[in-house]
Amino acid sequence: MTNVIEQLGQWAVGRVREMGRMLLFLLSAFAWLVRPPFRFHQFMKQLHFIGYKSVFVVVLTAGFTGMVLALQGYYSLRKFGSEGLLGSAVALSMIRELGPVLAALMVTARAGSAMTAEIGIMRITEQVDALDTMAINPMQYLVAPKLVGGLIGVPLLVALFDVVGIYGGSLVGVDLLGVSEGAYWNSMESAVEWKDVYGGILKSVSFGLIVSWVCCYKGFYTRQSAEGLGRATTEAVVLSSVLILVCDYFLTSVLL
């Protein structure tokens, strides 16, 4: 019994220590972010990697999400004779929830895992140490640009996700199922408020931070082996995804 309590205590202390280290990592990255030299090229490179290179997967996911949402929504709304509200249902679901969450999960899967692997390999092959020996801070050179890339890239992808998803819904709802085009777009215009858009932006910024923070952290502290790198990448994707969903719940509670 004592052993179990002891192990539980050790586990809890370990988790608290890990959280503290993660927080210090984030604060350190922000501290290095605002210190010169500013590597604009590195920021753009990360924005290109996280943002532009995720466009295809985000568009694909958004299109089919909007389409299936319209399909499901149409048959549910038809029971109440409210097919005209399909546009608002698709738009609100996209802007408030599905856009930020799914886009962030896609970025985690595509760019987040790659970030962990990249930094992890650099750690294992002493490239991170090499930066240190050149008096170039790895937090400033490697982590800070990725953090900015996530903070800017994810909201832009979410905006794209929302737009493509709404057009996907229109394709199925209006073109295939025969909902009036005017009703689809007008119901959207009257239902969507600024606070919905604001909430979506807030979520996407938060999720962008979570993805880049967790994935960089896991890569930075990779254990010195191929197995350690594999574990770090898995942990980064799982932890980022879980944190996105948990954070989504709390943000939604506050925003509603």
Partner 1 sequence: MVNGFESDGDLVPSLPSPIYHKPWALSQMIRLVGVEKKLGGQPVLQGVDLSIPVGKLTTIIGRSGEGKSVLLKRMIGLLQPDRGEVWVGDVEISRLSGTRLNDVRKRFAMLFQGAALFDSLSVFENVAFPLREKLRMKGPGVTKRVEEKLAEVGLAGMGHKFPAELSGGMRKRAGLARALVMEPEIILFDEPTTGLDPLMAKSIHDLIVTMQQRFGFTAIMVSHEIPEIFGISDWVAMLRKGKIALMATATEFQRTTDPEIREFISVGGTVALPGSLAG
**Residue numbers at the binding site for partner 1 (CB under 8 A):** 37, 121-122, 125-127, 129-130, 132-137, 141
Choice between 18 and 126, CB closer to partner 1: 126
Chain CA centroid to CA 108, Å: 6
CB of residue 137 vs partner 1: minimum separation in angstroms?
Answer: 7
Write down the H helix ranges in the chain: 2-33, 40-50, 55-79, 86-92, 99-107, 113-124, 127-133, 138, 144-170, 181-191, 194-220, 226-255
Q: What region does 35 belong to: left with phi over 0, alpha with psi -120 to 50, or beta?
A: beta
Choice between 141 and 185, CB closer to partner 1: 141
The amino acid sitting at 89 is A
CB of residue 126 vs partner 1: minimum separation in angstroms?
Answer: 4
Choice between 222 and 240, CB closer to partner 1: 222
Choice between 77 and 148, CB closer to partner 1: 148
Q: With contact defined as beta carbons under 8 Å apart, do 214 and 240 qualify? A: yes
Choice between 145 and 155, CB closer to partner 1: 145
CA dist 124 and 126 (Å) reads 5
Report the candidate in 230, 16, 36 with the shortest Cα–Cα distance to residue 120: 230
CB of residue 58 vs partner 1: minimum separation in angstroms?
Answer: 24
Choice between 132 and 193, CB closer to partner 1: 132
CB of residue 42 vs partner 1: minimum separation in angstroms?
Answer: 10
CB of residue 35 vs partner 1: minimum separation in angstroms?
Answer: 9
Tokens of 117: 């692997």
With 0-12 / 13-18 / 19 or more C-beta atoms within 10 angstroms meaning exposed / middle / buried, residue 27 is exposed
With 0-12 / 13-18 / 19 or more C-beta atoms within 10 angstroms meaning exposed / middle / buried, residue 144 is buried
CB of residue 46 vs partner 1: minimum separation in angstroms?
Answer: 13
